[in-house]
Structure 1
């Protein structure tokens, strides 16, 4: 039976077709059928809340001696979540743990965060990754999938096999329905995990409609003490999107959802943030302005203003569009990375001043430390720009590591610039060669330095103007300089 079945022309709810008691019985049977621990994906949204609440009530009906199999509730914090949601999720996880202990439920909640090297700001500000788009959605893998994967793999290593409980419903999208049907195990309520052979998936609310979800939440109080009516209020005047725990690349972006990332540029317009501001949360305006600027960098006509003409690997490539050839743009220009960091810190200061939390953090100190390391070792940032910008914007300083600054500063870089101009050499080429030598100092084996130096020298060192001239006339550039590649 499906959610589309009707009686006298009226669509039947899942409760009409199956009944709450039968839903509980099914969950109990699946729980007791094996010894595999459960991992429940919880985003704080309506669907994941319904799934967790159903499981909680169903298992609470079992005798305590049968509630022995552990249940792990995991919530992914991308570190760029919509600010209104951050405290909501944190407080909820605390209530879940406290209430589960009091009721002797085998449930424990965890908030998962990406590794610092995978964080949004380290990749965007540190490495220069452009704002995510439908063509290059690099954020999902790093911020969500990998974060959940680590927990799942650790659980598999410890317990052998696990069952993922996901709050996904059929009818949300054809892609999602196809994935759910593809991995179903015949004669079982479980499905194979799409990527992990020792993991299974159970979807207790797959037959629920949106109306079923809200009917359930508004009639059954939260067992851990949350207000489901407050949850409903979070959805009012915004899209009815929910952002589930992302465990594969088929999950849609959540930029329109109150439970998505505030920096999301995969969607055209952040309706959620706009709705929050219109409903009185004026302190969020600096975040919306920052997000909209990131979106502007994706406009094809604007890319040359923000993004380098060289790719991440130092190569220059061009592609044909009609009768013309165009340079394929690479990461953000270093000067723009610095400008973005300054604007982010300024937005953080405004949010702290005008928002409800004077200590609210948009970027962690650990992320700043990693960005600083990347800039100094990979961008030849002899001016120590991260520390300088942070002090100028905040009036404060962090516990910056001093022994990694090397012997060069902005003064030496300015002198080197004059020498390079006189010799007609790219400053970036020379500083990268010097950086390689500095990084290899003190090593007992320095044979690999030749490979490192060779990699730098093999990059394309044409200026953007030279590259454009070579596109128009391949013989216009000195043959001793590296050329560009056509695709």
Structure 2
């Protein structure tokens, strides 16, 4: 066992036994959160009495990379069985955004342009809010995240700004009752990979799969906001529809590494990043009635839906749910009947 792992396990045991505040573990399937979850599992193997809830949560935004989502769902099922065998009381929770907040309901149903650095509406709607709705049920909570020093300059600034007297804890922006705890905060990138490579337990966390999927990824999208304004805009692994980054390197690398089923998704993402700026398919008025570049027109939304369904058919991957499609059609009818909805000057949809 590497020295950093020994220290982290001791810290996890100590902090778990310190109080009754429930723990929530943010898990994405990536290397950092997998390394942290592995250490928590191994720490719990050394604990004889468990006195509080520990929930492992994954936020399925509906537009996660399908390869990652499939891996996480399979891993959760395996971990549940492994926890039963070793009598470790971890709970596993799959979180999803509210129907009206989902990516394609926003873009195709309401006509939102896909996210940019200026209009980055996605992180809160898709990731932060579902997690907050779970955590806010408790007066106090400790959120375990795979945050590390020296991961990036931006992350280092965040850690410095929100650090506490305990080096493993960060203050949660806007909440004095919610703390972020990172047992791997002092781990290097090499430490993270070594933890995954040489850990005997849990067997459910597959080092080889994580290495294959994440070897080209610089970072992961957050599951809980660490600081006001932070987002996954600079990440290289998150939603397959992400148009905040100029080029999705991780998706391109996965295709090159043999995941050919992602090719249609990659092309759709590149296409929609240009289509959103086509003024022909943008309303001349915003929804507040002010003249200016507004929502995607109904015609534009229909084009996007058809393009998406074609990508779904060719790729063989499930990209949009039936309930999302139903809600999209409902939102189209609402706009058609809304007297205040104007697409072009002196033109009203009938």
Q: TM-score, normalised by structure 2?
A: 0.91
| 2: CA distance, partners of 1:461 / 1:330 | 10
Partner of 1:145: 128
Higher relative contact order (CA 8 A, sep 6+): 2
Q: Which segments of 5 or more consecutive residues in structure 1 lack a partner in the other structure?
A: 1-13, 317-327, 353-359, 381-431, 434-455, 465-487
Decide which of 8, 17, 26 is 1:23's aligned counterpart.
Answer: 8
Matches within 5 A, 1:244-323: 244-248=222-226, 249-253=229-233, 256-257=236-237, 260-297=238-275, 302-316=277-291
Question: Residues 189-226 of structure 1: CA distance to partner in whole angstroms, max 9, x if unpaired?
Answer: 43332133321111111111111111111111341423
Greater C-alpha Rg: 1
The reply on whether 1:377 has 2:334 as its aligned counterpart is yes
* 8 Å Cα contact 1:315/1:460 also seen in 2: no
Decide which of 326, 341, 345 is 1:462's aligned counterpart.
Answer: 345
Seen in structure 2, the aligned counterparts of structure 1 residues 460 and 50 have a Cα distance that, compared at 3 Å, is closer
Decide which of 42, 45, 48 is 1:57's aligned counterpart.
Answer: 42
Seen in structure 2, the aligned counterparts of structure 1 residues 336 and 92 have a Cα distance that, compared at 3 Å, is same
CA shift for structure 1 position 120? 0.2
- Tell me, what secondary structure is at the counterpart of 1:241? coil
Aligned Cα root-mean-square deviation (Å)? 2.2
Matches within 5 A, 1:23-422: 23-63=8-48, 66-154=49-137, 156=138, 160-187=139-166, 189-236=168-215, 238-248=216-226, 249-253=229-233, 256-257=236-237, 260-297=238-275, 302-316=277-291, 328-352=292-316, 360-380=317-337
Seen in structure 2, the aligned counterparts of structure 1 residues 275 and 21 have a Cα distance that, compared at 3 Å, is closer
* 8 Å Cα contact 2:59/2:223 also seen in 1: yes
Q: Which segments of 5 or more consecutive residues in structure 2 lack a partner in the other structure?
A: none
| 1: CA distance, partners of 2:10 / 2:260 | 47
* 8 Å Cα contact 2:42/2:201 also seen in 1: no
| 2: CA distance, partners of 1:376 / 1:32 | 55
Give runs of ≥4 in structure 1 deviating > 6 Å.
Answer: none
- Tell me, what secondary structure is at the counterpart of 1:198? strand
* 8 Å Cα contact 1:45/1:243 also seen in 2: no
| 1: CA distance, partners of 2:220 / 2:123 | 16
| 2: CA distance, partners of 1:197 / 1:177 | 21
Question: Residues 299-354 of structure 1: CA distance to partner in whole angstroms, max 9, x if unpaired?
Answer: xxx532332211122320xxxxxxxxxxx4111121110111111111111122xx
